[in-house]
Every structure is written in C-alpha cells, then in structure tokens.
Amino acid sequence: MSEGIGTDEIVVIERPHEHVAIVRLNRPKVLNALSNALVSQLAAAFETLDADGVTRAIVLTGDERAFAAGADIAEFAAEGPRLDEWDRLWATGLPTIAAVRGVALGGGLELAMSCDMMIVADDARLGQPEINLGVMPGAGGTQRLTRALGKTLATEMVLLGREISGREAELHGLANRSVPAERVLPVALELATRLAKQAPAAVRAAKRSIAQAFEQSLHAALLDERQAFHALLQTEDAREGVAAFLGKRKPVWRER
C-alpha cells in the first residue's frame, strides 16, 4: 500500500481532498485480478483509512481497462481465493463509492457491489462469469446481485454468465449513475466530496442502518434505526445541524 501515483504497489492511496481518499487497484497487466495479496492490502488500506480520523469517504477504482477482472485465476490451482479476507473490506464504517471503468467481472463485480454506491462507465462490462470456470460466485455475487436486480436477471447472469453494460446496470438499479468513461472518476469524486461534507457520525450510522435492511427482519431493523437516531440526537453535531438550520447558516461539524 502506498500514498501517491507512479508506484509499483498493488494498492495505491491518493488523496485528492483532505477528507476523501481514492483507493486504486494497481495490477494493470492482469486487469487488476484480485489476488489474495491484493485483497489483503485493500482490506488493510480500508482499515487504515477508517481509523485515521480524517478520511470521510473512499472512492475505489481501477484503471480505464478494468475495475477488476475477478479473482486471480492463476492462483486458483495453488490456493483458492481467501474469501474470509473480504469480511475485513465489508466491515469498513466509511462510505465507499466504486468508480467502475472497463470490466468488473466475478470478484470485481462483487467488490463493486459491496460498495455503498457505484458509478459506472456507460460501456463498462459487468458480469459473474464464474460459471464458465465450473464454479460460482463466492464473494457475495448470488446475494447482492439478486437483491439489486431481482431473481430474473441475476439468474441469467450467474447461471449463464450473461454480462450487462454500465448503462444497463444503471437502468436496473445496480449502479447509481452511468456516465461516459472519462466522467466516472470526476462524478465519483464529486459524490465523495459531498459525502465528506455531511456529519461523519450520521453518515456512518446511516450506512450501518441501510445495511441492516438486508440482514435483519424489518421489525428488528426499525428498532435499531430508532436507537441509532436517538444516539445521534445526543451528539454535538446534531445540535449544530439544528442550530445552523434555525440560524440560516451552514453547519460546522466538530465530529462529536
């Protein structure tokens, strides 16, 4: 992992804005195939940013050819993907935006779908081709795709390896926006900058609460939401948000 551009590191962190980090997958020769080392370093990067007290949003991206072409197939024979490492990625409290150009296949699409938002190039290629290797998605594909797209299209993608374009991904609600490839990163950064301007504790709590929609019964999730809301009301930032509204001024968050 490293800060800056022009590096051999397989995960690169750039900081275009004080509170926003770009995390870039950097194995261009193999279309950012997700080797176990890459996933571990990515998880470490997310954990570092989550704990640094400065970062408020992460944009996760690859390059113009590939967000990621899936698990590293060359590693399959020696050792399978260590999928438990993915739990570390999913545990981040920071809001994450996948900025997808080129291919997002297999684990690449699973990685993009595990982000809170997805900005895709119109001509991006999204799919779960594991079936062509005689296996199936193992890092969330059957679950996240089905929840986002519904059973009909998800079944075609997972059982037949059908790909969809970025434009289709937006149409079916898998991506937040589909834009020309050169706009993907600017649009993702603009969203991240807006996220970074919200009260950080409220963003974290709301992110967690949305995730509960997929993990709990409605009743239990509503109770958790209510609890999170009341906890936020006690924060200084909530008092500031209300005072700013009533005083017709912009709030200044103190992260308390």
- Which amino acids are annotated catalytic? 71, 107, 110, 130
Give the nearer residue to ligand CAA in terms of CB position, either 72 or 237. Answer: 72
Q: Is residue 130 part of the contact set for ligand CAA (CB under 6 A)?
A: yes
Could you tell me which stretch among 6-14, 63-71, 173-181, 229-237 binds ligand CAA (CB under 6 A)? 63-71
Give the nearer residue to ligand CAA in terms of CB position, either 132 or 227. Answer: 132
- 3-state SS class at 3: strand
Q: Residues 106, 70: contact at Cβ < 8 Å?
A: yes
Q: Is residue 37 part of the contact set for ligand CAA (CB under 6 A)?
A: no
Could you tell me which stretch among 105-113, 181-189, 193-201, 232-240 binds ligand CAA (CB under 6 A)? 105-113
In eight-state DSSP terms, residue 26 is -
Pairing verdict, β 125-127 and 2-3: unpaired
Q: Is residue 62 part of the contact set for ligand CAA (CB under 6 A)?
A: no
Least Cα distance to 12 among 20, 27, 24, 21 occurs for 24
Least Cα distance to 27 among 7, 13, 4 occurs for 7
Q: Residues 244, 197: contact at Cβ < 8 Å?
A: no
Alpha helices by DSSP H, the chain: 36-51, 73-76, 86-90, 107-113, 141-149, 151-160, 166-171, 184-196, 200-212, 218-233, 236-246
Q: How far is the CB of 106 from ligand CAA (least distance, A)?
A: 3
Q: Is residue 157 part of the contact set for ligand CAA (CB under 6 A)?
A: no
Q: Is residue 30 part of the contact set for ligand CAA (CB under 6 A)?
A: yes
Q: Residues 134, 80: contact at Cβ < 8 Å?
A: no
Q: Which of 62, 95, 129, 166 binds ligand CAA (CB under 6 A)?
A: 129
Q: How far is the CB of 93 from ligand CAA (least distance, A)?
A: 24
Angstrom distance (rounded) from CA 40 to CA 82: 9
How many residues touch ligand CAA (CB under 6 A)?
Answer: 21
Q: How far is the CB of 162 from ligand CAA (least distance, A)?
A: 13
135 phi/psi in degrees, rounded to 5: -125, -160
Give the nearer residue to ligand CAA in terms of CB position, either 26 or 55. Answer: 26
Angstrom distance (rounded) from CA 17 to CA 192: 9
Q: Is residue 33 part of the contact set for ligand CAA (CB under 6 A)?
A: yes
Give me the torsion for CA of 42, 46, 48, 52, rounded to 10°.
150
Q: Is residue 72 part of the contact set for ligand CAA (CB under 6 A)?
A: yes
Interface with ligand CAA in residues 228-247 (CB under 6 A): none
Q: Is residue 21 part of the contact set for ligand CAA (CB under 6 A)?
A: no
Give the nearer residue to ligand CAA in terms of CB position, either 132 or 216. Answer: 132
Q: Which residues bind ligand CAA (CB under 6 A)?
A: 30-31, 33, 69-74, 81, 103, 105-107, 110, 129-130, 133, 137-139
